[in-house]
Amino acid sequence: MSNKILIVDDESNIVELIRLYLEKEGFATVSAKDGKEALEKFRQESPDLIILDIMIPEPDGWQVCREIRRSSNVPIIMLTAKSETFDKVLGLELGADDYLTKPFETKELVARVKAVLRRSDSKESEQKKTVSYENLSINIDNYELSLCGKIIDVPPKELELLYFLASNPNRVYTREQLLEEVWGFDYFGDSRTVDVHIKRLREKLEGIEGNWQLKTVWGVGYKFEVRN
């Protein structure tokens, strides 16, 4: 069965262009022209990937991405004319898997769709994985974080970042390495998104005692330190 792509854009010519190229590559497509229709199609069609424009009629792309991430890890590629670093960082922090600015090369978009789907399929095919330490358990299979036996709500990228660090204890990673390993592509622009995710994780882990610590290595990056 071919992968189904949801294209969300209020410019019909762009939707048609993307549709033609994707269907030529064997993908099935559905489309939506605004945020409300996008959320309806997401629930009805269960797409394998979403190409999401930010500047769509309400709710806008930011809100649509935020709403989808409350219930799903479906890959999202943001496609937009907003090229400022702040917008890229915000999109990634909200849970987007990739970000492409207009005008764009259709062949590049198709290549990114294939790359994101490969990473998604690879994750889904992995066996159940859990990393556990004292009062801490991270299950990457069902995306659950357990602290002192209690399940804590955590966004997908925060959990993936914590899981990666905890799976490689006592090893220091730079921000650029973490972006490559966790976000899965060569990152462009500001690396502060890692700092934001680390800060939010620390807020969730605050007060939890164990033989581990999410630690900053000044001038280098971060590590998940485990004490014997």
Q: What is the pLDDT of residues 77-133, one digit of tens each?
A: 988 776 666 666 777 777 888 888 888 888 999 998 988 888 776 555 554 578 899
Same domain (yes/no): 150, 107: no
Same domain (yes/no): 116, 197: no
Overall number of domains in the chain: 2
Same domain (yes/no): 150, 191: yes
Domain encompassing residue 182: 130-226
Given a cut of 60, whether residue 185 has pLDDT beyond it is no
Domain end, chosen from 83, 104, 125, is at: 125
Same domain (yes/no): 176, 135: yes
List Cβ<8 Å contacts ≥24 apart for 162-167: 162/138, 162/201, 162/214, 162/224, 163/129, 163/131, 163/138, 165/214, 165/222, 165/223, 165/224, 166/131, 166/133, 166/136, 166/138, 166/212, 166/224, 167/131
Same domain (yes/no): 171, 188: yes
Looking up residue 54, the CATH number of its domain turns out to be: 3.40.50.2300
Same domain (yes/no): 35, 83: yes
pTM, to two decimals: 0.56
Same domain (yes/no): 61, 37: yes
Same domain (yes/no): 37, 81: yes
Between the alpha carbon of residue 60 and those of residues 5, 36, 113, 145, 175, the distances in Å are: 19, 9, 21, 30, 30
Q: For residue 134, what is the DSSP state?
A: T
